[in-house]
Structure 1
């Protein structure tokens, strides 16, 4: 990231905090234009194309049957491959990690959405997700945002065309996920999505736009879906949280005269540092509030448990667990004290990591693997 870009974005943040949104928008546009010019790319994001991914293929949530792929039965080593996916005119590069010694099993899938300026390799290295995939036995999908779609490689969570079912990046990511489920014999009942920062914001959008695909979501240092509808609003939300953030509505569309189905609430785990100066910690609280707001039934029948703890390396945290009267997890909020905008418990090999905090990767997988979609969900 060049110095001029950093200075302009710092000005934009200062102007946003002062309520001077028009000037902040101009500063952001100058920063993006400079970045795009340096890379020889257009200085705008690509609007999402409207294409539908509304129904799972019939029987996909039944008993998963492993797909037969070349040399799959003989593979005894892990595989981290580069792939490309095209859907509705939108192309996505991605990497796929398959753990060693698991051929023939219908494994869970974790979709990992990187943050701005990151890429799949960087994100994999920082989170240590592939090593945990070897240990616990799951496949990891790392979609890559292109600089053509966003000069900083950010998922466009702040644009209306990328915030709903059947449109833009959420639809492309859902279609990619379904393609991987089918091609690799994934257990479709156990598919999860997680992300950091802009990737965390998009993970919240995708999971709640497609609750029939994703059994649970993880949002690290991210924002709630609906937090912003423009770049200026995005900076305002990042600076202090959005007063208008609310649960995504209408994700299950009424069509062909069918009755509107009840929207499934997606269990969500949140990690956020309370010294995060890039995305205000209030956003983590709002992700949790929105997740609980989607839960049907009476709020008084839910339970909340709060635990104070300390990581092995001395970082204090507060863990707040929300469950129902049967003990089923609804949401879990980890506030990492003294931590900034970084993946908690991450590794120095990747960017935006904090090795001192509790292990967000392992805690997210614990939370994920306790969730599964019901057959026919």
Structure 2
């Protein structure tokens, strides 16, 4: 990974920002398929190239011919994109990055200072097909979808709270915190995961914190930032504050509070479960990354390729359910394996492996690490043939794969075992 970044940076420095987009994308794609995991069930050599998620120029959809050139005295400048904005800044800090990368094994990265810019949206968008872009209107439900906002010293975030029609307030209800992926928002994420429909069935409150574009241009949760991996600091303090605000305003069973997320949201869900085991009883991670797997942009790109950091202290082993597609070229499936390895409890030494297949859909392997009494502590779903998308989700939302097992329902089933 570091070698690919060095190649990209030399191209960038030699050819300027105009070459940055392709250079960065080649670095992210690794120039070749990402290294496969050691699991025998994970096929090698089937990585897909990351597609360009920037919108095409306006003339592209209208005509194959380029627009007429502008007058010489007013030469047109290319419209900025998140990728080119990042490239401009990268061209300024890359000499320092390259100097540290050239040290053996990247050991010098501790001396590297990150610039102040947002991580581009490499988190979502690597796959097409069932994950695709167009989605329909949200399904009408009998409950209430309430707008809220929470402010801490770290900042302000809005949120959407779904209160099912089955909730009366007389009986304490479970609460699920759902963290969306890059480029998504609460409405999109709720539509794709269909979690509000399950909330109606299970009498569960669901809150969807929203990342702001001021905090990240692509609305990614900043899972790769060191301050956002610290209890009561940064985004964890805001998400925990939203959780407590809902608990204070509604009758919530404090022993049944859970957190889940997709991709960047999945990585942040892991952070929340690790930092706040007193607040969250279990964690659900879809296509996410382990706690403290990165602390800056270079290590984030490496982690997404499967070369993640392993912190000395990983905290308490938390009950966790993990979903990951074995054809995910955005976040390497090795991250799912690492999540399970860290999440296994010492007492959960019994392992059950169950292969299965969705009718007319994907095959999968479900591995359960359980306690002697049969209750699960860590559960992993490896979905064969699936990419970077919420398994079993609805096409009403973005980044879903309806051919996979129902991740939403299985997460809620797992959470119910923690009562």
**TM-score, normalised via structure 1 length:** 0.76
Cα distance in 2, alignment partners of residues 327 and 9 from structure 1? 51
Distance in 2 between residues matched to 1:86 and 1:8, nearest whole Å: 37
The answer for the alignment partner of 1:360 in structure 2 is 407
Higher alpha-carbon deviation: 309-318 or 114-123:
309-318
Is 1:303 paired with 2:315? Answer: no
Is contact 2:357–2:364 with CA below 8 Å preserved after alignment? yes
Paired positions, count: 306
Could you say which residue in structure 1 is the equivalent of 2:318? Answer: 266
Deviations 1:120-149 (A, max 9, x none): 000000000000100111000000000000
Work out which of the residue numbers 310, 317, 332 in structure 2 matches 1:245.
310
**Matching residue of 2:286:** 220
* Residues 296/304 of structure 1: CA separation in 2 closer, same or farther (3 Å cut): closer
1:28-50 residue CA offsets vs partner (Å, 9 max, x unmatched): 87444789xxxxxx97359xxxx
Cα separation, partners in 2 of 1:184 and 1:338, compared to 1, 3 Å:
same
Tell me how far 1:102 sits from its aligned partner. Answer: 1.9
Query: CA offsets per residue over residues 210-239 of structure 1, 9 Å max, x none?
Result: 000000000000000111111111111112
Q: Following TM superposition, where does structure 1 have runs of at least 4 consecutive aligned residues deviating by more than 3 angstroms?
A: 7-11, 27-35, 246-250
Query: Root-mean-square deviation (CA), in Å?
Result: 2.6
- TM-score, scaled relative to structure 2: 0.68
1:314 deviates by: 2.6
The answer on whether the counterparts of 1:203 and 1:218 sit within 8 Å (CA) in structure 2 is yes
Aligned to 1:142: 208
Report how far residue 249 of structure 1 moved. Answer: 3.9
Q: Is the 8 A contact 2:294 2:303 kept in 1?
A: yes
Alignment-derived partner of residue 233 in structure 2: 167
Q: Give the distance between the partners of 1:149 and 1:248, measured in 2 at CA.
A: 28
Alignment counterpart, residue 389 of structure 2, candidates 336, 342, 361? 342
**Correspondence list, 1:81-92, <5 A:** 81-92=146-157
Cα separation, 2, equivalents of 1:34 and 1:128: 39
1:105 aligns with 171
C-alpha separation between the residues in 2 aligned to 1:247 and 1:355? 38
CA deviation after TM superposition for structure 1 residue 105, in Å: 2.2
- Find the counterpart in structure 2 of residue 189 from structure 1: 255
**Deviation per residue, 1:68-119 (Å, 9 max, x gap):** xxxxxxxx94100111111225101000000003212211000000000000
Question: How far apart, CA to CA, are the structure 2 residues paired with 1:132 and 1:247?
Answer: 38
CA contact (8 A) 1:32 1:151 kept: no
CA contact 2:143–2:164 (8 Å) conserved in 1: yes
Could you tell me which of 261, 275, 278 is aligned with 1:209? 275
SS in structure 2 opposite 1:207?
helix
Tell me, yes or no, if structure 1 residue 125 matches structure 2 residue 191: yes
* Contact 1:154–1:198 under 8 Å retained in 2: yes
Matching residue of 1:236: 302
| Structure 2 gap ranges (5+) | 1-16, 33-80, 90-114, 120-140
Following the alignment from structure 2 to structure 1, what is the Cα–Cα distance between the partners of residues 312 and 265? Answer: 18
The residue matched to 1:94 in structure 2 has which SS?
A: strand
Q: What does residue 14 of structure 1 align with?
A: 26
Q: Is the 8 A contact 1:13 1:239 kept in 2?
A: no
- For the residues of structure 1 that align with 2:363 and 2:230, how far apart are their CA atoms? 36
Provide the rounded CA distance (Å) in 2 between the counterparts of 1:310 and 1:275.
16
Inter-partner Cα distance in structure 2 for 1:234 and 1:94: 26
In structure 2, do the counterparts of structure 1 residues 190 and 248 end up closer, same or farther at CA, with 3 Å as the change threshold? farther
Structure 1 alignment gaps of length 5 or more: 20-26, 36-41, 47-75, 251-262, 373-377
Q: CA deviation at 1:15?
A: 1.8
- Correspondent of 1:318 among 360, 365, 375: 365
Q: Which residue of 2 aligns with 1:73?
A: none
1-side partners of 2:382 and 2:259: how far apart? 20
Q: CA deviation at 1:360?
A: 0.2
Q: CA deviation at 1:182?
A: 1.2
* Deviates most, 153-162 or 163-172: 163-172
User: Residue 32 and residue 147 in structure 1: after superposition, are their counterparts in 2 closer, same or farther (change >3 A)?
Assistant: farther
Look at both structures and tell me which one has the larger radius of gyration over its CA atoms.
Answer: 2
Match of 2:334 among 282, 297, 302: 282
Distance in structure 2 (CA, Å) of the matches to 1:158 and 1:223: 10
Mapped partners of 2:20, 2:342: distance in 1: 32
